Structure 1
Amino acid sequence: MAAPPEGTPCWADAVFTDVEGAKSFYGDVLGWTFAEAPGGFGGCAEARADGRAAAAVVPPAPGQEGAAQWCLYFAAADAAATAARIREHGGELLMGPTRIGGLGTMCTARDPGGVVFGLWQAGAHEGFGATAGPGAYRWAEVLTREPEKSDAFFPAVFAYRSERLGDGTDFRVYGLGERGVLGRLRMTDAFPPGTPPYVNVYFTVADCDEAVTRATDRGGVLRFGPTDTPSGRFAALSDPQGANFSVSDVAGAAGEPPPAADGE
């Protein structure tokens, strides 16, 4: 498979203190099955949708226990070069670039407004294997109270074009060529006070309302929705360990991003 263009979302993972609890929750809500991740690094479990790699759940490294949160990784042809651009444009490197055996090279970083994200230079592990259908990654949005910082940073690092969409909501889409690959939403007072900036990852589900019911029955919290949009029905949730994510049903046209929510 050809490597995706630089800046394309290519993988997602989350660190959980209770990995077995996370596997049980997301298995029920998203229909994921789990297997030991390739290479068996650090107890990482690979989530699979229809037998294909969809994401990973990871235990914390010693001394790094903290709030659970999904991390979105962007494709990098040369992680070291992209990391240099991150520093050049005011970002902070949190880890790496680090080679993960023969799987690839990873790096985690933070933009000038505090948004954490990752880089992945593919080796044997190319990233998302599941690209459509229930359980697959669908879309993501940078949620920040300092959008001007993200708007300057991400297009400089990844050569995105940037287009403002919608009326009354400060929402932009970053794109590669004609394809939108990432949203950016200004966080308003509708978000709970103290909510840090983050990348909100969307996963596809067969039925949004059913997924919300499963999530809340298992201890998840509904933050927004469900609501109908031209791209399908979606809702924003937090899992029982506090990681934020969204679900969007398959009624939306393939490749169309769900619209941003005003708050969660």
Structure 2
Amino acid sequence: MFADVEAAKLFYGDVLGWSFAEASTEFGGYAEARVDGRAVAAVVPPMPGQEGTSQWCLYLAAEDAAATAARIHDHGGELLMEPMRVADFGTMCLARDPGGVVFGLWQAGTHEGFGAVAEPGAYCWADVFTREPEKSDAFFPAVFSYRAKRLEDDMDFRVYDLGERSVLGRMRMTDDFPPETPPYINVYFTVADCDAAVARATGRGGVLRFGPMDTPFGRFAAISDPQGANFSVIDPGSTTGEPPRTTDVT
């Protein structure tokens, strides 16, 4: 969601190599972002009442959006938008966890979601950044049947697994975050070269917040785009060291 959609297209088109479908006035100016013709994201103007806001929103898949929305309510979350049918494409819903983290639900119709993942230009990973991690750790596993694991080090970080796959991280926001920064989900986009992507982003007015840094999962950097939307880029092909051990949380 971007206050200036055309500026967002120019920025992400250069940084991540996206092309864009023609915006749909029928669906609020929604324009699908693509890599090699496959859907990887979308940009849309703010909804009424949110003018001036720019941020990314991650949509989690739901087999039944209405049933998932009910679980969100039952476990202390807030529905910002009740499940709404979007033509034949699917059903969407917007919600907030008890700690203030905003996310979406998507029940697929003809549009299943990502056409590509974990390749240059496409979504790769996401972390829940929250000041109240105990609330997120109770909420997300209860609503989405995740199994939580913690890293065996001093960092307050959790990994949420779905079946045998790790699908989402949870990070405690420290005092390093400005107090005005709300809780959010930080999305990671795959790039072929982290440093080159950072150079393109800062060259177009983005702000480097952290990194680039080498990790066992890839070389990554955290960035704010010129409109203030936070995201990260990661080159998963450039790894350093062994992944940290994890322990199930009961």
TM-score, reference length from structure 1: 0.88
Residue 203 (structure 2) aligned to one of 213, 217, 227: 217
Match of 2:39 in 1: 53
What 5-or-longer segments of structure 1 have no aligned partner? 1-14, 259-264
Q: Which amino acid aligns with 1:175?
A: D
Q: Equivalent of 1:43, from 23, 29, 35?
A: 29
Residues 1-264 of structure 1 mapped to structure 2, 5 A cutoff: 15-36=1-22, 40-251=26-237
The answer to whether the 8 Å contact 1:114/1:197 transfers is yes
Label 1:198 to 1:252 Cα distance change in 2 as closer, same or farther (>3 A): same
1:179-228: CA deviation from partner (whole Å, max 9, x where unpaired)? 11000000111112221100000000110000001101101000000011
Looking at structure 1, the residues matched to 222 and 166 of structure 2 have their Cα atoms a distance apart, in angstroms, of 20
RMSD: 1.8
The amino acid of 1:232's aligned partner reads G
SS at match of 2:73: helix
1:129-157 Cα distance to aligned partner (Å, 9 max, x none): 01232111000000001000000000000
Deviation at 1:114, TM superposition (A): 0.1
> How far, CA to CA, are the matches of 1:174 and 1:91 in structure 2?
18
* Conservation of the 8 A alpha-carbon contact between 1:99 and 1:105: yes
CA distance, structure 1, for counterparts of residue 141 and residue 189 of structure 2: 24
Over 3 Å counting, the alpha-carbon distance change for 1:232 and 1:85 in structure 2 is same
Structure 2 unaligned blocks of 5 or more: 245-250
SS in 2 for 1:70: coil
Q: Which amino acid aligns with 1:197?
A: P
- Conservation of the 8 A alpha-carbon contact between 1:110 and 1:117: yes
Assess, with a 3 A threshold, how the Cα gap between structure 1 residues 44 and 257 changes in structure 2: closer, same or farther: farther
Question: Percent same amino acid at aligned positions?
Answer: 78
Q: Secondary structure at the match of 1:43?
A: coil
Query: d(CA) in 2 for partners of 1:151 and 1:94?
Result: 21
- Choose 229-238 or 36-45, whichever is displaced more: 36-45
TM-score by length of 2: 0.93
User: Offset of 1:257 from its aligned partner?
Assistant: 9.5
Which contiguous aligned blocks of 4+ residues in structure 1 show a shift greater than 4 angstroms? 37-40
Change in Cα spacing, 1:50 to 1:257, as seen in structure 2 (3 Å) is farther
Count of matched residue positions in the alignment of Structure 1 and Structure 2? 242
Q: For 2:169, give the aligned amino acid.
A: G
Amino acid paired to 2:209: R
8 Å Cα contact 1:139/1:257 also seen in 2: no
Please name the residue that 1:11 is paired with. Answer: none
